[in-house]
Structure 1
Amino acid sequence: MLLTTSSYADESVSICFNYGCATQSTVKFSSQQLNSVAQILAAAHNAAEERTLLAQVIGVLYAWAGEQTPIHADHGGNFADAGVQGAMDCIDHSTTTTRFLRLLEQRDALHFHHVIAATRRGWIFQHFTATIEEMPLAAMNATSVATTQRPRFAVDSWYVDNGKPAIVLPLAEWFNYGGPGA
């Protein structure tokens, strides 16, 4: 029996902080770290399980990034850490989380979702989130895939302190201001 393992190199990701991506810094994740989060995600048997595990993995990636940058000081929302070096607003979080998700996607760690562009709600008081879309089941035929909107989900790390699991919820619920404290 031939066993194969993925051998990816270390990866660097640019993260945003200090509100509105005013500051960007590059963090490096080792191949061992990335393989460990890929193994966590590999335990998912379906899309719902992958979303649950993905929330945890995003928290882990933020914790590791916080060991290399001042984002370790970031607290959920905008008020608990206003003015603190490393604080992140929703623009910083949506941008950075999307970059983390794309890294996972490029490493084939996502099996039930793919990453799409960040989403915005509101006009005057805007809020942004990273967004994923559930992939169609292989059993679906081409017609149903083309005519059916696939479920989309907000992956919103702005609500939580650095290193805590992100909030993952249906995008429609997010648009209705669902989430912590709703």
Structure 2
Amino acid sequence: MKIATKALYPAGLAGLLLLNACAGQSTGQATSWYASHDGVAPRPDRIYVCHGFGCTYTTPVNFSARDLNRLKRILAAGSRSPEAERKAIANAVAWNEKRVAPEVGSANDIGGLDLHNAGVRGQMDCIDEATNTASLLLVAEKHGYLKYHSVSGPVARGFFLDGRYPHATATVKEKKTGEVFAIDSWPKANGEKPVVQDLNVWMAG
């Protein structure tokens, strides 16, 4: 995936502010993320897809009974173990990105740091991606599709002074062990599987 690092300076103050927005930490439940990041919490059959960077735009997408059944089947494939469920979660996120793309205009969303697309409908920064992934997972949790994990709040790393770009990700917590895992779709283009890894590893990345 191409990383447009040189776009940082042409983007100017607006670009810096967008990156700084990615440094916002979430506390408490996943639903607390939305109020502080201009997102809209999902309903059991609807998500509000953030795009344009920093949730500049939100597009409601309704899930039909067929969509929900599809999501259920994808996640049921991971019922053997927590590790298998995390793989299934990655498949569900990839499916969801393809599912919403025609309504959102995000089929060509570019993965990774790509500041020249700030404000462009259908393009997503880390705030958009973390919000959208959390929304999908909250829908799945609401319907009882997750066996081994609960949905925890998105978190962030980096703040320039430590030499790293600010970046946020959705997370899930394994119920038995309490271990938290990053579900990070930002580095990948639309419809590709997200990066799934132990949150401590992700934080050190």
Within 1, Cα distance between the matches of 2:82 and 2:191? Answer: 23
Amino acid aligned to 2:143:
R
Check the 8 A contact 2:158/2:167 in 1, yes or no.
yes
Q: Does 1:108 align with 2:144?
A: yes
**Gapped regions of structure 2 (runs ≥ 5):** 1-43
Within 1, Cα distance between the matches of 2:113 and 2:166? Answer: 13
Check the 8 A contact 1:73/1:85 in 2, yes or no.
no
Q: Which has the higher contact order (CA 8 A, sep 6+)?
A: 2
Highest CA radius of gyration, 1 or 2? 1
Task: Answer 1 or 2: which has greater helix percent.
Answer: 2
Q: Identify the match of residue 69 of structure 2 among 18, 31, 35.
A: 35
TM-score normalised per structure 2: 0.72
Within 2, Cα distance between the matches of 1:28 and 1:163? Answer: 18
Q: Does 1:56 align with 2:91?
A: yes
Within 1, Cα distance between the matches of 2:116 and 2:105? Answer: 12
Amino acid aligned to 2:101:
G
Within 2, Cα distance between the matches of 1:48 and 1:26? Answer: 31
Q: 1:99-138 alignment to 2 at 5 Å?
A: 99-124=135-160, 125-136=165-176
Check the 8 A contact 2:71/2:92 in 1, yes or no.
yes
Determine what percentage of the aligned residue pairs are the same residue: 31
- Could you say what secondary structure the match of 2:132 adopts? helix
Instruction: Give the structure 1 partner of residue 188 of structure 2.
Output: 160
Within 1, Cα distance between the matches of 2:197 and 2:101? Answer: 24
**Gapped regions of structure 1 (runs ≥ 5):** 1-9, 137-148, 178-182
Runs of at least 4 residues of structure 1 off by over 4 A? none
Q: Does 1:175 align with 2:203?
A: yes
- Could you say what secondary structure the match of 1:14 adopts? strand
TM-score normalised per structure 1: 0.81
Check the 8 A contact 2:57/2:121 in 1, yes or no.
no
